[in-house]
Amino acid sequence: MNPLQMNLMQMNLLQMSLSGAILILVIAVIRAIAAERLPRKTYLALWGVALARLLVPVSFPLPFGGILSGLRWRVGRPWNAGVIADGSSEINVGAIGEGMGNGAVSAISGGADQTMPVASSHWITLTAWAVAAIWAVFAVCFALYFVLVWMRCRREFQTALPVHNEFAERWLQEHSLRRRIEIRRVPGLSSPLTYGIVYPVILMPGNTDWKDEHQARYVLFHEYVHICHFDALWKGIAAAALCLHWFNPLVWVLFFSLQQDIELECDECVVRYFGWKRRKEYAEILLQMEGIRSGLVPFNSYFSKNTTEKRINSIMKFHKKGKLALFGAVILVVAGAAAVFAAPGTSGRSTDIGNILKGEGEFLYASENGPVSSKIEDVPGLFDPEDPYMKIWNFAQVDLDGDDEEEAVLFVFGAAGDTGGSLVLHQMGGKVYGYRMDYRQLENLKTDGTFSYSDPTGVREAGICAITDFTQTGFESDKITYWTAANPELTSDEGQESFVVNHRSATEEEYHAAEEEQAKKTDAEWYDFTDENLADMFGK
């Protein structure tokens, strides 16, 4: 696959949790309305999609927006919105070069050179760290709980005694798998269960009547279905999702609903195997084998649980599903997967900006005198109309303002090599706007949207910057980390007496350490501005 087509969108934990929660809520509603109308495998498949959304931190570009397409997220720079250069409410692109070289970051409501209060920034940082610490503590506690429960159960189950009788050995021969299955007995066990994934073991109560082969066949086949479906593994995955998203109540709904649907789906398989006319016999055996137990054992598959009544009702209502129900089940699973894994907002953005880059549309160039309709072939002239060698060399797609929608950044240079700069294309209100940045204003672009900048001379001010918002006449920027010269009239790099790191006054050593951390970030991926690359990225 061409690298341009592998355009995955990274997601953070909260995004994954929110989109997963929306899908869980939808599944819960479907499950309540159409409980017996769809095959139980449908709900398990949907829970699987929800688990994937909770655990896989990427989305894929599809021809439509995802389940979060209407939401705006400030990813990576949640505390920077609302601060701009020069203390004005917006920056005119005609004065960008001057504005990028003046003063410190100031609040929208403040005047020039009014820096963000250090105390406010400090408390914001402390709050973020406190929230992260609380999440980590609970996540580790839940993980330890599940691990300890698993270890305790495994230690107890390993003391089980092997079962040696003609029926059990014959049954194992008839139901062999690539994985070796064992049948063991545990004195005092109230009802059968299965544990283990690679080497599954069916545990039977010590008082099992092996002479009643009719009952034993039902019980063993139920556990056999658990083994075939890797149910212990799925329960482990659900436990992992719960550890990560313990703060999300709907993930708890998923965890317990999945346990129940696993049992109901196994019951359905048993009835389908032995014949729906014999479902009453199976329900009676289920009642006989019912065992009351306490505690949460997430990785073992039980023959029966305290939801016996629901299971028996489901068994008695079992009927063969028609082709229409099966078709509806497939549609639900595919639609659910597409909804939560589609990258939000990628459709309109990629198509509109892509058309402009291919010369099939116009954008509004944000000039001093207001927006001017322009085409991609006009871009070199926006930087130097007298340079016949000025052209677009390459381009990148990066989310600059943290709204989960990528901007196109065009790298424009002429023959001299020290003129030109970048043009940023941003979609807003159904239109695409273009913003010019001189060659010192956007350098070393990173995938998180941050970049390096300096004043026109390169000796008065330089640092790390990010764009917080775009307007119809310019854009708002945030100087995150920077230095300024003691004397603005300097013509050399001597006298760098003022340093700021993450909006706070800092030492020179702290500033250089922040520069090193910035350098470690992943660089944006640039592509040659060719018809082939544009076709790969945006289609022909």
- pLDDT tens per residue across span 312-368: 777 766 665 555 656 666 676 777 677 666 654 444 344 588 889 998 889 999 887
Checking if the pLDDT of 265 tops 60, the result is yes
Dist. CA 300–CA 232, nearest whole Å: 6
Question: By the 8 A CB rule, do 412 and 422 touch?
Answer: yes
Confidence (pLDDT) at 85: 33
Confidence (pLDDT) at 456: 80
Cβ count within 10 A of residue 539: 12
Rounded to the nearest integer, the mean pLDDT of the chain is: 77
Q: Could you tell me what percent of the chain has a pLDDT over 90?
A: 28
Cα 481–484–488 angle (5° rounding)?
A: 155
Checking if the pLDDT of 451 tops 90, the result is yes
Confidence (pLDDT) at 295: 40
User: 269 or 85: which carries more pLDDT confidence?
Assistant: 269
User: 336 or 423: which carries more pLDDT confidence?
Assistant: 423
In this predicted structure, which of 70-74, 149-153, 154-158, 339-343 has the lowest mean pLDDT? Answer: 70-74
| Mean of pLDDT values over 220-240 | 92
Element (H or E) spanning 452, and its range? Answer: strand 451-454
Read off the tokens for 308.
């016996």
Q: For the packed helices 40-55 and 323-341, what is the interaxial angle rounded to 10 degrees?
A: 10
Dist. CA 75–CA 402, nearest whole Å: 5
283-319 in b/e burial notation, b at 16+ Cβ within 10 A?
bebbeebbbeeeeebbbbbbbbbeebeebbebbeebe
Q: What DSSP state is assigned to residue 306?
A: T
User: 165 or 338: which carries more pLDDT confidence?
Assistant: 165
Residues with Cβ within 8 Å of 140's Cβ and at least 6 positions away in sequence, in order, are none
Confidence (pLDDT) at 496: 61
Q: How confident is the model at residue 100 (pLDDT cuts 50, 70, 90)?
A: very low
Confidence (pLDDT) at 212: 84
Confidence (pLDDT) at 416: 63
| Mean of pLDDT values over 375-383 | 91
Confidence (pLDDT) at 490: 53
Dist. CA 475–CA 28, nearest whole Å: 43
User: 429 or 351: which carries more pLDDT confidence?
Assistant: 429
Residue in 144, 147, 141, 150 with CA at minimum distance from that of residue 297: 150
| Mean of pLDDT values over 419-424 | 88
In this predicted structure, which of 182-186, 295-299, 390-394, 413-417 has the lowest mean pLDDT? Answer: 295-299
Cβ count within 10 A of residue 458: 11
| Mean of pLDDT values over 159-179 | 87
Decide: helix, strand or coil at residue 451.
strand
User: 304 or 249: which carries more pLDDT confidence?
Assistant: 249
Integer CA distances (angstroms), 361 to 345, 355, 375, 399, 431, in order: 19, 6, 7, 22, 11
Integer CA distances (angstroms), 417 to 264, 379, 390, 413, 434, in order: 69, 17, 9, 6, 22
User: 77 or 340: which carries more pLDDT confidence?
Assistant: 340
Terminal Cα distance for the chain, rounded? 16
Confidence (pLDDT) at 118: 43
Confidence (pLDDT) at 3: 40
User: 105 or 504: which carries more pLDDT confidence?
Assistant: 504
Question: By the 8 A CB rule, do 480 and 464 touch?
Answer: yes
Residues paired with residue 501 on neighbouring β-strands, in sequence order: 504
Confidence (pLDDT) at 351: 52
| One-letter identity of residue 24 | I
Dist. CA 356–CA 363, nearest whole Å: 7
| One-letter identity of residue 135 | W
Confidence (pLDDT) at 495: 55
Residue in 166, 165, 163 with CA at minimum distance from that of residue 181: 163
Q: Could you tell me what percent of the chain has a pLDDT over 70?
A: 72
Confidence (pLDDT) at 414: 82
Dist. CA 408–CA 395, nearest whole Å: 7
Q: What is the chain's alpha carbon radius of gyration, rounded to the nearest angstrom?
A: 31
Checking if the pLDDT of 2 tops 60, the result is no
10-56: per-residue pLDDT in tens? Answer: 567 888 898 889 889 988 888 888 777 777 888 888 899 899 989 98
Q: How confident is the model at residue 113 (pLDDT cuts 50, 70, 90)?
A: very low
Locus of tokens 């943290």? 402
Residues with Cβ within 8 Å of 396's Cβ and at least 6 positions away in sequence, in order, are 408, 409, 411, 445, 524, 525, 526, 527
Burial class (CB in 10 A: 0-12, 13-18, 19+), 57: middle
Dist. CA 321–CA 41, nearest whole Å: 12
| One-letter identity of residue 99 | G
Confidence (pLDDT) at 162: 87
Q: How confident is the model at residue 88 (pLDDT cuts 50, 70, 90)?
A: very low
Question: By the 8 A CB rule, do 228 and 209 touch?
Answer: no
HSE, side-chain direction, 13 A CA sphere, residue 141: 8
| Mean of pLDDT values over 404-422 | 83
Segment of 36-45, 396-405, 516-525 carrying the highest mean pLDDT = 516-525
Q: How confident is the model at residue 95 (pLDDT cuts 50, 70, 90)?
A: very low
Checking if the pLDDT of 423 tops 90, the result is yes
Dist. CA 34–CA 438, nearest whole Å: 60
Confidence (pLDDT) at 489: 59
Checking if the pLDDT of 115 tops 50, the result is no
Q: How confident is the model at residue 80 (pLDDT cuts 50, 70, 90)?
A: very low
